Every structure is written in C-alpha cells, then in structure tokens.
Structure 1
Amino acid sequence: MSTREGSLEAPKRHPIDWKNPDFYNEASLNQEMERVFDICQGCRRCVNLCTAFPRLFDLIDESATGELDSVNKNQFWEVVDRCYLCDMCFMTKCPYVPPHEWNIDFPHLMLRAKAAKYKSKGAGFRDKLLSSTDLMGKLATIPVVVQTVNAINKTPVTRKLMDSMLGIHADRKLPEYTANKFRSNAKSNDTFPVKDGTRTPGKVAIYATCYINYNEPGIGHDLLKILEHNEIPACLVEKEACCGMPKLELGDLEAVEKLKNENIPHLLKLAQAGYAILSAVPSCTLMYKQELPLLFPDDEAVQAV
C-alpha cells in the first residue's frame, strides 16, 4: 500500500510502448484494467467528468458482490468505448498519476484497449469513414457537392437513413462543410520584421487542421487577423494532412504513424527555420505536443516539432 494519499508533484507521462507485442495482449490488458479500475472505484473523484467513470461505477455497484471481481470482463469495453481521450481525469482529477507509485494513466490505458480492439477486430465502416477527416473534407467541399452534403445532413428522412445504415444518430448535429476552404483563401502576411521573444519565436507558421480548412475557415482567418494586428509575420504550413487524432481515438495507431510521416517533414523544416507552429484546434495541438512525442519517443524530428 502507498504511504501517500496522492501525489503533489506535476503529472508525468510515460512513452507509449505500442510496438511491443505485449501492448496488445488481452490477458495483460485485462489485468491492467482490473488494477486501474479497482483503484478508480475506491476513489471516484472523476465521477463528474465523462460517462466512462459513471458507467464503471454502475457496473461495480450493480454486480453480485458490489466489487470489481464480479464484473464480467467483457463489460470493461463499455467503459473503454465511452472514453474519448480528453485527458481531463489525468490532468485535473486523479491523485495517483505518475510519478505516484500507483502509476495511473487512465486515458492511455483506454488508448491501449482501443488499439488492442482495433488490432484484433478492426473497425466498422462508419468509424473508418468518420475518422478519415481529410478524405471526407476533400469530397464534401467539392463545388455543388458541398451544398448537397449540407442539405442532406439537415434532412430528417436522410438522417433517419444515416441512423439506420451508419449508426449516426438522427438528432446529432453535424458540422457544415464550406466551399471556401481556408487554405485556398487564406491571406497570410509575412512582411513584418521578426521580433523574437525571450522564450518564443517571432514568426509563425499555421497548421490549418481539417476542421478549420473544411468546416470553420473563419477561425483561421481570425487567427491571421490577430497575428497581423500584432505585426507578427505568418505563413501557412506548405502541405498538411490530418493530425491523426481521429485515428488515435479509433485505436488505429498504424494510421497515426502514416499521417505522422506525411506531416512531420514539412513541420520540421519550419521548426528548424525558427517558426512557432500554431494550430487553432486544441486536439491537433495536443497530438503534436503530447501524443506523437509519446508514441514516437525516439523520433528526433517529432521531438523537434
């Protein structure tokens, strides 16, 4: 048993050993989920976050003994499927995150479970389609097609068909696509003199992201206006693909690696040239600042970006 209730030190993340065959071993995974779930159910500070924790606690409370040992391990997936890797439990709630000896990293355990599930069972058409944000965006933003897609996404009859055929709930509000993509219309200004700060570069490269490029270009244009107002020279990343977060949430880590290999060479050139690389979508920033460095700890280019 620990001699401390919790850690007062800053949370520390460990590299994700996803290329180790044991990472996908079902028995090893179940053993670790049992260990972590048992600690979680004795604490329950995270109950007001996502629905993963209430589901876990309900499974335990409604079991024969009221303890984790009588919960069917197949029901663990009901917890896994509810986690969307937001990191709130790790960053704000859990007192047992590393460097605490109990070493609880709930989101990355859920990532391991998602990856093991994807490795053994793959994913359905809907999940593969919706996580291919670049492909969806390129197809949906073709002139004329974009108006049709947006109309279909608002039509009750077609939404019921999408619900029955794809499993996309008829009442789920879907983001609209735009014919005026951000990258096609962005007017960056790199004419200002570079004024480096004490800890920050004085010039910026913008990684537009799928959402800003295909759905909400106004966010990107506003960011450019803010940079111009403050006389900060800015340019767009020469070429980009999806950051990989949708594939990460699916557990498709090999697809994450492919996207990393597409993006990092372009971003590395900018990092080496002294640019601060900005993304206006937090999940994309999280991928480059945290997830990719932990997935590829020995990749010097990833670490530099």
Structure 2
Amino acid sequence: MFEFTKISDDCIKCGKCIPTCTIHQVNADEVTSPRGFIELLGNYQKGELELDKTAKDIFESCFLCTNCVDVCPNSLPTDMVIEEVRKDIANKYGIAWYKRIFFWLLRHRWVMDIASKLGYVFKSCAVKEDKKRGGLIPRFELPMIKKDRLLPSIASKSFLNSYPQRIENRNDRRVAIFIGCLANYNYTDIGHSLVYILKELGIDILIPKKQKCCAAPAYFTGDFDTVEDLAKKNIEYFETFIDEVEAVLIPEATCSAMIKHDWVVFFRNRKMEDWVKRAERLNQKIFMATEWLYNHTELESLLEKRGVRLNSLVTYHDPCHARKVQGVYKEPRALLSKNFNLVEMSDPNRCCGFGGVTIQSEKFHLAEAAGKPKAAMIKETGAEVVAAECSACRVQLSNALYQNGVEAVFKNPLELIAQALKENV
C-alpha cells in the first residue's frame, strides 16, 4: 500500500486549500475537500476507514485540478495520493466495462484508427452536428455520452495519418510533435496549425508515427497497468529519435504534464528508478508548444512584423496542468496579444471542471456544476473566442458554453496564431 499516513500527518489543517478546491466549490462538504481527502486517506491506511462504496464515491469526486497543491504551505501532493488510492479502488471494485474498452483502445492505436474512421462515417446515426460550435450533439444516451451535451467532432482523417513522418524545411533546426489523442482524432486543426507555424518559421518537423497515448486518462482512473504499458513504450520510442530533435512540442497541457511530471512520479512511486532516469532525460526536451515557440523562436517578432490586427475579442483560460503544474501561462498570452484583443476573465485560473473520465461519465453532474460559473465568467468578458492549450478543457468548456447559452467558441491558441499568420500572406 502507498504511504498515505505520512502525508496525512504532515497536513497542518490550515484550510488554505479549501476555498480553491474545485469539488468543494460545487459541493461544500469538509469530506470532499483536500484536507478531508488527506485525513480520510490517513485513516484508511491505519485501518480506521474501510474502502467501501461511500469512500470510493468520495475519492472519485476529486477533479485533480492541483489547486490545493498550488496553495499548500507544505506543498502536499494531494492529487498524487488521490491517484494512488484510485488504484486501490480499481483493484477492489474493478473498472467499468466502457472505461476498460476505452483504455484498451488507447493501448492499440491501429484499432483506435479504425474506430475513429467508423465513427466519422456513421456519426450521423448517433449524433447531430453543430457546425457553429464545431461539435456533436448525441441523439441518445450511453454511459459516456449524455444527451443534450456537446461532444468533440470527429475528423475524417487523424492528424498522424495526414502527414509524412518527416517534413523538411531545409533548416538545421528540427522538432518533433507529440499530438495527444483528442488533437489527433477530434480537434485536428490544432496539429495542422502547429505544422503551419513551424513551416512559417522554417523549422524541420518530425511526426513520430508510433507515438501512443500519454496515459493520463488511465492514470486518473487507477488503471496503472495501462499507465505502465503506455509510458514505457513511449519512452522506448522517444529514445530512438530524441537526440536528433531540438525539442518535442506538445500542444496539450494534460499530455505535457503527464509526460513531464506524472511519468516520473508514477515510476518513482513504483521504485522503478531506471525508468525515472530515462523519463527525466527525455524531459529536458519536452515542452508545451507555445512555451517553446515563445522562448526559442522568432514567432513573437514574426507576428508583430506581420502587423495584422484581427478584431476578434479573445479571453484566455489557464488549464490546470499548464499554469499550476508547468508554470506556462505568460507565453500563450504574449503570442496572442500581438494580433488579437485579449481580455482577462475575473478568474482565468479557476478549473473548468473536466476532471477526467469518471467525472465526465459517472459524475457528469459535477462537471456541469463546475463549468457553469466558468461559462458565466467567459460571458462577462464579452469575448467571441475562449482559448486554452488543452483539449480536455476544450471538451468541458465547449459544452459549458453550449449548455449555458454563451455564444463564444473555443480555440487552441495555435489555431489563432496560425490564423493571424495566414491573414497577411
């Protein structure tokens, strides 16, 4: 069993975490607060709390937003201990059949490719298309598909299957792209935009075709066998090309945080020190896309030089896994402000409420409750577009905007940057 007691003993019960906690904001109960989670976990390890269905329900209600870690004076890893207890929950109660199918597909990309193509061909049978918002509305209800919610669109061709493995721009600089599953199959304009930007900068591109899911969905659900399988296979594959690229760019906050932070934590907690070292070596070249483009290229000056000013009013949402886990928040704003009118929300740092597979399926009412105030903040800005470098946030916020009648649409900042570059070609 993971060592929960030490973290519980280190909690000074100051309560600074409580006002920032996403689940506590929508369910104001001491039990479902970081302080409550930690106390219960300590009792669980001491044998004073049975891991019954009530405890399961409590531990699965955490959004893993890391707000509590961000403000904790002792930097206690509440998100990590919740992830660890979810493994115990999965071992005791199993994982729902539809989640197991989903995680199996993540481990077998060739099957996912086929499933995605079939989904695109037959989507009209199950969903209605909302072209304005770029999403799909279900005609009926399934465990992970609730009626009257906006789902991601499905692309006719995945990003990884849209390009050759190497795109040469006759430059001595080369980067690789790790695309993420949602950007690969659903929001493909993200990858297309990144390729366009890199071409404009004259940087050679490697698109590693054998990359697999980062394993974040499985990690947040407690399926650690899938996490270990995907993380090890990705590391082994990355090692075959990492020395020939300057960086691996990831246009997704959750994927980037999983690879840069959670892989190391996962292997360290399993005492797999060799894999820790291998992951840490790769991390020197892993970057969120806007982070690297802002700090290591002339993109900012290129956008300024083009001089085009687009009238769209844009607000930026800080993904939890970008700002709090990786410290990335200034870079996308700096790039967007060159060509767009940027307006801030009253609380851009507030979690959107995506929360992972369990929240989006079995506890979707919590996602809806967390999304509603965020949609109201976006409406208050008057923005036509809300941007964030995270497709999980895009799924959640696109639906929150749709359900709450807010007209704004969601874009990844790379899509907006590419649009600005194209305006003055």
**TM exceeding 0.5:** yes
What residue is the counterpart of 2:287 in the other structure? none
Q: Which of 233, 236, 256 does residue 265 from structure 1 map onto?
A: 236
CA apart distance, 1:172: 3.3
Q: What is the Cα deviation at residue 286 of structure 1? A: 0.9
1:78 aligns with 2:57: yes
CA distance in structure 2 between the partners assigned to 1:168 and 1:157 by the alignment: 7
Alpha-carbon distance, 1:303 to partner: 2.2
Rounded to whole Å, the distance in 2 between the matches of 1:60 and 1:268 is: 41
C-alpha distance in 2, partners of 1:189/1:226?
Answer: 13
Q: Alpha carbons of 1:274 and 1:141: their partners in 2 closer, same or farther (altered >3 Å)?
A: closer
Q: Alpha-carbon deviation of 1:268?
A: 1.1
1:243 alignment partner in structure 2:
214
Give the counterpart of 1:192 among 167, 170, 173: 170
Amino acid in the other structure paired with 1:159: F
**Is contact 1:133-1:210 (8 Å) kept?**
no
**Structure 2 residue 120 is matched with structure 1 residue 142:** no
Q: Deviations over 1:136-160 (max 9, x none)?
A: 74243225x4132354144988523
Which residue in the other structure is 1:280 paired with? 251
Shift of 1:186: 2.8
Distance in structure 2 (CA, Å) of the matches to 1:85 and 1:174: 22
Answering whether residue 74 of structure 2 is matched by residue 96 of structure 1, we say: yes
In structure 2, C-alpha distance between the alignment counterparts of 1:132 and 1:84, rounded to whole Å: 23
Kindly state the Cα deviation for residue 86 of structure 1 after the two structures are TM-superposed: 3.0
Distance in structure 1 (CA, Å) of the matches to 2:96 and 2:187 = 27
Structure 2 partner of 1:19? none
1:156 and 1:214 map into 2 onto residues whose CA distance is 17
Whole-angstrom distance in 1 between the partners of 2:240 and 2:66: 30
Q: Specify the SS of the correspondent of 1:77.
A: helix
SS of the aligned residue for 1:240 comes to: coil
Q: Which residue of 1 aligns with 2:85?
A: 113
| Bigger strand fraction | 2
Identify if the C-alpha distance between structure 1 residues 157 and 261 changes in structure 2 by more than 3 Å, giving closer, same or farther.
closer
- Seen in structure 2, the aligned counterparts of structure 1 residues 277 and 225 have a Cα distance that, compared at 3 Å, is same
Q: Secondary structure at the match of 1:277?
A: strand
Cα drift, residue 106 of structure 1? 0.6
One-letter identity of the residue aligned with 1:148: F
Instruction: Measure, in 1, the Cα distance between the counterparts of 2:239 and 2:178.
Output: 12
- In structure 2, the CA distance between the partners of 1:268 and 1:157, relative to structure 1 (3 Å rule), is closer
Task: Give me the whole-angstrom Cα distance separating, in 1, the residues matched to 2:137 and 2:235.
Answer: 41
Letter aligned with residue 154 of structure 2:
Y
Q: Cα 1:246–1:253, aligned 2, differ >3 Å: closer, same or farther?
A: same
Q: Which amino acid aligns with 1:170?
A: K
Task: Specify every segment of 5 or more residues in structure 1 that has no aligned partner in the other structure, as ranges.
Answer: 1-21, 62-66, 98-103, 195-201
Aligned match of 2:140 in 152, 159, 167? 159
**CA drift at 1:53:** 6.7
Please tell me whether the aligned partners of residues 105 and 112 of structure 2 are also in contact (alpha carbons under 8 angstroms).
yes
Stretches of structure 2 lacking an aligned partner (at least 5 in a row): 34-38, 129-135, 283-425
Once the two structures are superposed, what CA deviation does each residue of 1:160-191 show, in whole Å capped at 9, x if it has no partner?
3x1xxx26432332212111211121366323
Output the CA distance in 2 between the equivalents of 1:106 and 1:178. Answer: 37
* Corresponding residue for residue 316 of structure 2: none
Q: 1:33 to 1:131 in 2, by over 3 A?
A: farther
CA–CA distance in structure 1, aligned partners of residues 123 and 196 of structure 2: 30
Question: In structure 2, which of residues 177, 190, 198 is the aligned counterpart of residue 227 of structure 1?
Answer: 198
Question: Does the CA contact (< 8 Å) of 2:87 and 2:222 recur in 1?
Answer: yes
SS of 2:79's partner is helix
CA drift of 1:254 comes to 1.4
Residues 292, 158 of structure 1: CA spacing in aligned structure 2 closer, same or farther, 3 A cutoff? same
Q: Any idea what the Cα deviations from partners look like across 1:49-85, whole Å, max 9, x if unmatched?
A: 4115764734489xxxxx989x986544333212233
What does 1:37-56 align with in structure 2 at a 5 Å threshold? 39=12, 42-51=14-23, 55=27
User: 1:95 Cα shift?
Assistant: 2.0
Q: What count of residue pairs does the alignment treat as equivalent?
A: 252
Q: Deviations over 1:195-247 (max 9, x none)?
A: xxxxxxx4200112211111111100100111111122111013111111111
Instruction: Answer yes or no: is 1:87 the counterpart of 2:66.
Output: yes
RMSD, matched Cα: 3.2
Normalization by structure 2: what TM-score? Answer: 0.52
Q: Are the aligned partners of 1:186 and 1:221 in contact in 2 as well (CA < 8 Å)?
A: no
> For residues 64 and 112 of structure 2, what CA distance do their matches in structure 1 show?
23
Helix, strand or coil: the match of 1:120?
A: helix
Cα gap change, 1:131/1:55 in structure 2, threshold over 3 Å: closer, same or farther?
Answer: farther
- The percentage of counterpart residues that share the same residue type is 20
2:149 paired residue number: 172
